[in-house]
A = this chain, B = another copy of it.
Amino acid sequence: MSDGDNCRVTEQNPAAVADLARRSRIAGRSLAGANRGVKDRALHAMADALAKAEDAVLAANESDVAAAEQAGTAPGLVDRLRLDPGRVGGMADGLRALAGLPDPIGDVVRGWTNPNGVQVRQVRVPLGVVGIIYEARPNVTADAAGICLKSGNTVLLRGSSSAAASNAAVVTALRSGIRATGLPADVVQLVPGPRTVTDELMAARGLVDVLIPRGGAGLIDHVVGNSRVPVIETGVGNCHLYVDADADTEMALEIMINAKVQRPSVCNAIETLLVHREIAEDFLPAALRRLAEAGVTVHGDERVAGYGTVVPVTDEDFGTEYNSLDLAAAEVDSLDDAIDHIRRYSTGHSETIVTDSQSAAARFVAEIDAAAVLVNASSRFVDGGEFGFGAEIGISTQKLHARGPMGLPEMTSTKFVVSGAGQIR
């Protein structure tokens, strides 16, 4: 239970993942019993410690960035890795904002009294030990640590090796803040070490309660496919916008541009446009013009090509989450064809219809199987912040436990508390 060196997992001693998980479990007993006041003080202390450690964090980050550049990493990835005073301040602000959110732990989800007088209460409790496996963005380190702490969970942070120095500096600061408030620093631990350590984390069933991968499709598929620990699948979004025969074309244009262009790199941006043939002539010429003005490359089928400049679309395009200023596009003959297309290619994240038809909207909402289905609104609204959750650990695209944007309550389990006066069956 030493609060000192967190870097106990080395190439020489990879089996220590189980040891980290056990330390996490023990620290979790103090955290699970901590009330909101204690947790909020810890969050503020973490923010203060991070702000104080800004120089050390930036120096560590500089070495990560230099190594990434030397290794020829793509500029976009280097940018995601890079920290500056603004980004460090943003991490601290995020921790302080968490302190302002309600504490889900102890909430009574439901409760009743049985006919025999036995009282039953279903109460929110922490999940326990949460493992986060994430890619190069060091800000996830502070973000995930704060969300887990506020929801009473201890966290094992497994970042990418390219951000190892940055993550270690951030975690050192966070732990010093936690320690100062009297909670055990082991509520937040880094899991360093070689690639095999990730496999050990995925094998640690019974020691780790849930794994949440945050990153690209490759990372998520790997974790989902190989973990023996229960996984919450987040984030891959191959999202569609369907412009129905009865759409308001102006509205459809605005939603299309917003959902594609406002932030193309995120999972709730659209990747494919489907247009009903009856509105194609009214909608597509203007749509292609607006998309071109916004710098979007349209990968269109032959029918779309009849209305403007596109590059030919392939079946692979329809299955791709571009995360860039690219958009696949097809004309469809009917709502049924649009639904069929979406069923075939959707990752079950966020799917949108623009229509003034009640019946078309109702069918789309009922028949599309996704975390979110939108009618006449931009898919960019499917987001924990926009939903008013205040914090978001990710957007779940699975059906068990949590589906859609995950706030603090989604980071909890429940326990039935049954109280009697000696009742028996």
A interface residues (Cβ-Cβ under 8 A, vs B)? 29, 32-33, 112, 114, 118, 120, 122, 125, 127-128, 205, 209-210, 224-225, 228, 230, 232, 248, 250-251, 254-255, 257-259, 262, 361, 365-367, 369-378, 380-382, 386-388, 398-401, 403-405, 413-425
**Shortest CB distance A387–B (Å):** 6
- Given the known inter-chain contacts A29-B367, A127-B399, A367-B29, please indicate yes or no for A418 contacting B251, CB distance below 8 A: no
A112 partner residues in chain B, CB cutoff 8 A: 388
Question: B375 touching A419 by the CB < 8 A rule?
Answer: yes
Question: B114 touching A386 by the CB < 8 A rule?
Answer: yes
A423 partner residues in chain B, CB cutoff 8 A: 376-378, 381
The 10 A-B residue pairs with the shortest CB-CB distance in the complex, in nearest-first order: A377-B420, A258-B424, A399-B413, A251-B422, A401-B401, A372-B416, A400-B401, A374-B418, A380-B425, A378-B424
- Of chain B, the residue at the smallest CB distance from A255 is B424
A375 partner residues in chain B, CB cutoff 8 A: 417-420
Question: A404 touching B381 by the CB < 8 A rule?
Answer: no
> In the complex the two chains form, what is the Cα distance from A142 to B376 in whole Å?
43
A374 partner residues in chain B, CB cutoff 8 A: 418-420
> In the complex the two chains form, what is the Cα distance from A209 to B369 in whole Å?
12
- Given the known inter-chain contacts A400-B401, A413-B400, please indicate yes or no for A381 contacting B114, CB distance below 8 A: yes
- Of chain B, the residue at the smallest CB distance from A420 is B377
Question: B230 touching A418 by the CB < 8 A rule?
Answer: no
- Of chain B, the residue at the smallest CB distance from A263 is B425
A370 partner residues in chain B, CB cutoff 8 A: 415
**Shortest CB distance A241–B (Å):** 12
**Shortest CB distance A341–B (Å):** 15
Question: B232 touching A118 by the CB < 8 A rule?
Answer: no
A127 partner residues in chain B, CB cutoff 8 A: 399-400
- Of chain B, the residue at the smallest CB distance from A120 is B387
A259 partner residues in chain B, CB cutoff 8 A: 424
**Shortest CB distance A186–B (Å):** 17
- Given the known inter-chain contacts A400-B413, A419-B377, please indicate yes or no for A386 contacting B254, CB distance below 8 A: no
- Of chain B, the residue at the smallest CB distance from A422 is B251
A400 partner residues in chain B, CB cutoff 8 A: 127, 209-210, 230, 232, 400-401, 413
Partner among B209, B373, B401, B425 whose Cβ is within 8 Å of the Cβ of A418: B373
Question: A422 touching B380 by the CB < 8 A rule?
Answer: no
A209 partner residues in chain B, CB cutoff 8 A: 399-400
Partner among B255, B367, B373, B414 whose Cβ is within 8 Å of the Cβ of A416: B373
- Given the known inter-chain contacts A120-B387, A416-B382, please indicate yes or no for A255 contacting B401, CB distance below 8 A: no
A415 partner residues in chain B, CB cutoff 8 A: 369-373, 403-404
- Of chain B, the residue at the smallest CB distance from A377 is B420
A418 partner residues in chain B, CB cutoff 8 A: 372-375, 377, 381-382
> In the complex the two chains form, what is the Cα distance from A152 to B41 in whole Å?
46
A424 partner residues in chain B, CB cutoff 8 A: 254-255, 257-259, 262, 377-378, 380
**Shortest CB distance A232–B (Å):** 7
